[in-house]
Structure 1
């Protein structure tokens, strides 16, 4: 008798599992109702991300939003004023910075 009850309970659990799994929320997604649109200084919906800076013989270049730019180029209606070792300055006052390298030791000032 107990075997029959165990088989019945197991069958119910197996049949109910897909319905339960379908109702689970993806844990990597933001909470419901939360928007992920970033607005920039100029009010556009595309935020600027400084991916990398390349120092070469022809000068510095910046990779911003996966696009290559030189000093003086225009980006979202404003000029790139300066490309340094770790930052890019835009003519409208915005500053884009790279993350500090993980391998660099903390410097006390």
Structure 2
């Protein structure tokens, strides 16, 4: 497995990061809005966003004084192709992924 896949799977391993991705499925969000539902500091959320950005799962863009986060939906393509090699996985369906993430959100992530 290559380093990009390692990075993507490592980013997806954390429930807080999966919850952030679920939020970004709906629309782009300002960093402060991403942080609002979590019982952790803005610095801790920023670290999670850095991991997601480093994995290519999100991008961030500064608009004025606000930093916006955007989901990169094609970023899971390599992971999907890798999983398909096992013959029992279908291509990533973003609607199914959204349902999975919503299920994950029903259990709040642990506080840091």
Determine which structure has more spread, i.e. the larger CA radius of gyration: 1
The answer to which structure, 1 or 2, has the higher relative contact order (CA under 8 A, 6+ apart) is 2
**Range into which the TM-score falls when normalised by the shorter chain:** under 0.3
TM-score by length of 2: 0.23
TM-score (norm 1): 0.24
Bigger strand share = 1
